[in-house]
Amino acid sequence: MSLWVVLDRDGVINHERNGCVRSVTEWEPIAGSLEAIAALTHAGFKVAVATNQSGLAKGLLTVAELEQIHQKMCDDVERLGGRIHGIFYCPHDSHSGCDCRKPRTGLLDAIEAHLGADLVGAPMVGDSLKDIQAAKAKGCQPLLVRTGKGTQTETTTLLWPHYGTDTRIFDDLAAVAEFLIRNH
């Protein structure tokens, strides 16, 4: 049985930018995040990324620029001996009503369909309420990191008492990886 982990991108793997990360030069990994992905890979986990990228719909970057960012991220992880099995993104804005934008489960459904993953019970790591909502809707184990918007999500989200009941909270992706490796 393969062990899958789903990661949000902005705020979990890399620092967020005001609006969105628009180019490879703006993409900056959070300290320890790429090493965490490599450690998960070495421990037998398969990693997939599910990310909302409304900057595409807003014209802030092109698909080619987004693909360059993702290629750099994958290359950097591979240099450390890790692997990202797939990156799935929603190109729509929050008003589109699409099925792929988190908190809906379309990205997670696509990961299952295209990678043959079974995500029920799989850890899903995010920094926002939308990530937690998508994880719960799909039957994943929601994990919140305090990087990105995570601390704000934990401390100011009015819906947190409901969504936080079975959500584990970690300082960052490195702490998540350490926990998952130790407990798998």
User: What's the pLDDT band for 165 if we cut at 50, 70, 90?
Assistant: confident
The mean pLDDT of the chain is 94
Q: Is there a contact between 132 and 160 (Cβ–Cβ < 8 Å)? A: no
Place of tokens 């591979």: 78
pLDDT, residue 158, reads: 64
Give the domain extent around 7: 3-182
Q: What's the mean pLDDT in 91-114?
A: 95
pLDDT, residue 1, reads: 43
**What percent helix, strand, coil does the chain show, rounded to 5?**
35, 20, 45
User: What's the pLDDT band for 17 if we cut at 50, 70, 90?
Assistant: confident
User: What's the pLDDT band for 171 if we cut at 50, 70, 90?
Assistant: very high
Residue ranges in 43-128 assigned as alpha helix (H): 63-79, 106-115
**What tokens were used for 49?**
């990324």
pLDDT, residue 159, reads: 67
Phi and psi for 178 in degrees, rounded to 5?
-60, -45
Instruction: Tell me the percentage of the chain whose pLDDT exceeds 70.
Output: 96
Higher pLDDT, 50 or 161: 50
Q: Is there a contact between 36 and 174 (Cβ–Cβ < 8 Å)? A: yes
pLDDT, residue 160, reads: 66
Asked whether residue 161 carries a pLDDT value surpassing 80, the answer given is: no
- For the chain, the first-to-last Cα distance in angstroms comes to 12
pLDDT, residue 132, reads: 94
On the 0-12 / 13-18 / 19+ scale of CB atoms within 10 A, 131 is buried
pLDDT, residue 173, reads: 98
**67 in helix, strand or coil?**
helix
Q: What's the mean pLDDT in 87-99?
A: 94
Asked whether residue 155 carries a pLDDT value surpassing 90, the answer given is: no
As for how many domains the chain has, the answer is 1
- CATH number for the domain spanning 118: value is 3.40.50.1000
Give the active site residues. 8, 10
Q: What's the mean pLDDT in 115-130?
A: 96
Each residue's pLDDT tens digit, 34-88:
999 999 999 999 999 999 999 999 999 999 999 999 999 999 999 999 999 999 9
**79 in helix, strand or coil?**
helix
Q: Hey, which bits of the chain come out as E strands?
A: 3-7, 45-52, 84-90, 123-126, 141-145, 168-170
pLDDT, residue 31, reads: 97
